[in-house]
């Protein structure tokens, strides 16, 4: 495997995860692409240009190029408007490949259904296999919508069905997602490859919690509950605020110590949600306990995790949940929704706790069982680090490269059959 073309239409790997459309997928692409390059594979990532100031080509890391393809207006284009720009984006991708000799790329790997549509055409034009990672699936999301969230459009459902039918390999994060591809999208089981995401075990490590709290201006004896992620109904950041209010009702003495960190930026259908969360906290009488922070990355994000007693991941759906894994690698137990891939990312009763549903009392009990019990929290913290070490981006990357080889072999057999 010499060269890989990665397609990420709607979000650039250069963007800060935690706001807009940037999230776990961005982390996934950056981490796997850089590790492929370290193994001698040349990687080119195609993404839509969102500013006239962006260079046509940028270096993400040695051996990894990001190509900014002009497709539609640079700014003010919502993700739901991007299907109308797929033709322009595809033209830009094909143009870049046309400058090279035929067979320049060995495989094309598309991320999210918009990229899959482009990858489908690139596969036909370049005569190379298409590997696709959905990251989220419309039919699954629509089965578990938050009360105020909008369903995914039929356009996306149809687009996903087409990509599933055409891809040579479908990468699923977990066995649950693999089953969803087969059951909901009639995917060929032989083409579905389960590859769990990883965690950066050099960046996300246990450390000095007192020092990290001091750096964030948090009292040493505070009880810190943390949400990290994009602010949108799907992620349900309101659940930690509701649970905190319930905890204070149950134990009024906790008010002087309790802190809720909400770390992230607005995204998708949650563009007004920050104001709604502030209003919610005020209405529940806990506005003084809630602190909002912008998206964090690198060492700053690890500091937030280490400063926390518990990290909450109350999503209505997650194909995996990288935040849960990163927090655990830092030695912080996680309370998560028992949905999607989170039961894989979090070991219930071992590295954290899983909660069925979104009832504030149930979340309050799960959070306080860990946050208010130092001995139990310490036990879970040790297990959390051990659990996180079962995952690594190196392992993910090697599994992807194996999948690319399998897809290429199958593709050649079909072509020359």
For 74-100, the pLDDT digits (tens) are: 877 878 889 999 999 999 999 999 999
Q: Which two tokens stand for residue 313?
A: 């991941």
DSSP letters of 49-72? ---TTS-SEEEEETTEEEEEE--S
Q: Which residues are known binding-site members?
A: 10, 16-17, 21-26, 79, 112, 136, 156, 230, 235, 296, 305-306, 308, 318, 326, 332
Q: Which residues are annotated as a binding site for UDP-N-acetyl-alpha-D-glucosamine?
A: 16-17, 24, 230, 235, 296, 318, 326
Same domain, 297 and 372: yes
Q: Identify whether residues 158 and 259 lie together within a single domain.
A: no
Note the pLDDT of residue 224. 98
Residues 129 and 256 in one domain: no
The radius of gyration computed from the CA coordinates of the chain, to the nearest angstrom, equals 22
Residues of the domain holding 66:
3-198+393-416
Beginning with the edge strand found earlier in the chain, give each strand of the sheet holding 192-194 in spatial order.
57-61, 64-69, 42-48, 3-8, 107-111, 130-133, 169-172, 192-194
Residue 377 lies in a domain: yes
Per the prediction, the chain carries an average pLDDT of: 94
Quickly tell me which residue has 């579905």 as its tokens.
Answer: 192
pTM exceeding the 0.75 threshold for the entire prediction: yes
């006239």: which residue's tokens? 52
How many independent structural domains does the chain possess? 2
Q: Is 397 helix (H, G, I), strand (E, B) or coil?
A: helix
CB 130 within 8 A of CB 111: no
Task: Tell me: do 397 and 383 sit in the same domain.
Answer: no
Domain identity same for 331 and 398:
no
- Cα gap 154→258, rounded to integer Å: 43
pLDDT single digits (tens) 231-283? 989 899 999 999 999 999 999 999 999 999 999 988 665 567 889 999 999 99
Instruction: Write out the binding residues for Mg(2+).
Output: 305-306, 308, 332
Render pLDDT for 338-367 as a digit per residue (tens, 0 to 9).
Answer: 999 999 999 999 999 999 999 999 999 999
Strand partners, 225: 260, 310
Distance CA 109, CA 21 (A): 19
Note whether 380 and 351 are within 8 A (CB): yes
What pLDDT shows up at residue 268? 61
210: its two tokens: 């007192």
Shared domain for 303 and 189, answered yes or no, is: no
Asked whether residue 203 is assigned to any structural domain, the reply reads no
Does the residue 204 lie in any domain?
A: no
Binding site feature residues for 1D-myo-inositol 3-phosphate:
10, 21-26, 79, 112, 136, 156
One DSSP character per residue, 120-136 reads HHHHHHHT--EEEE-SS
Residue 279, domain CATH? 3.40.50.2000
In this structure, are 70 and 150 located in the same domain? yes
The CA-atom distances, in angstroms, between 416 and each of 125, 127, 131, 170, 345 are 17, 12, 19, 22, 41
Length in residues, the chain: 417
pLDDT tens digits, residue range 176-185?
999 999 999 9
Whether residues 300 and 402 fall in one domain: no
């Amino acid at each position: 495997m010499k060269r890989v073309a990665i397609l990420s239409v709607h979000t650039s790997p250069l963007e800060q995860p935690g706001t807009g459309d940037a999230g776990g997928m961005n982390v996934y692409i950056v981490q796997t692409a850089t590790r492929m390059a370290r193994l001698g594979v040349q990687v080119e990532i195609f993404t839509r240009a969102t500013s006239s100031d962006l260079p046509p080509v940028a270096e993400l890391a040695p051996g990894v190029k990001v190509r900014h393809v002009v497709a539609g207006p640079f700014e003010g284009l919502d993700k739901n408007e991007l299907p109308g720009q797929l033709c322009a984006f595809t033209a830009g991708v094909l143009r870049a490949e046309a400058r090279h000799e035929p067979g320049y790329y060995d495989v094309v790997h598309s991320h999210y259904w918009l990229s899959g549509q482009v990858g489908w055409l690139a596969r036909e034009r370049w005569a190379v296999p298409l590997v696709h990672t959905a990251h989220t699936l419309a039919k699954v999301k629509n089965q578990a919508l938050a009360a105020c969230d909008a369903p995914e459009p039929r356009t996306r459902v149809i687009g996903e069905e087409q990509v599933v039918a055409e891809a040579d390999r479908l990468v699923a994060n977990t066995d649950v997602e693999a089953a969803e591809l087969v059951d909901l999208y009639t995917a060929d089981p032989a083409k579905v490859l389960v590859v769990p995401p990883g965690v950066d075990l050099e960046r996300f490590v246990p450390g000095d919690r007192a020092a990290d709290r001091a750096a964030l201006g948090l009292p040493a004896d505070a009880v810190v509950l943390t949400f990290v992620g994009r602010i949108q109904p799907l992620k349900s950041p309101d659940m930690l605020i509701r649970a905190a209010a319930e905890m204070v009702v149950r134990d009024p003495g906790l008010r002087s110590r309790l802190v809720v960190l909400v770390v992230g930026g607005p995204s998708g259908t949650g563009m007004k949600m920050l104001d709604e969360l502030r209003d919610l906290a005020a209405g529940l009488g806990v506005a003084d306990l809630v602190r909002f922070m912008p998206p964090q990355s690198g060492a700053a994000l690890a500091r937030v995790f280490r400063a926390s007693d518990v990290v909450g991941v109350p999503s209505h759906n997650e194909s995996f949940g990288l935040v849960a894994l990163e927090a655990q690698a830092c030695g912080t137990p996680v309370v998560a929704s028992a949905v999607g891939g989170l039961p894989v990312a979090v070991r219930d009763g071992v590295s954290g706790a899983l909660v069925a549903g979104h009832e504030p009392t149930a979340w309050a009990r799960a959070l306080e069982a860990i946050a208010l019990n130092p001995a139990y929290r310490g036990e879970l913290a040790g297990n959390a680090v051990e659990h996180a070490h079962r995952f690594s981006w190196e392992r993910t990357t090697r599994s992807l490269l194996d999948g690319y080889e399998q897809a290429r072999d199958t593709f050649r057999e079909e072509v020359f059959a």
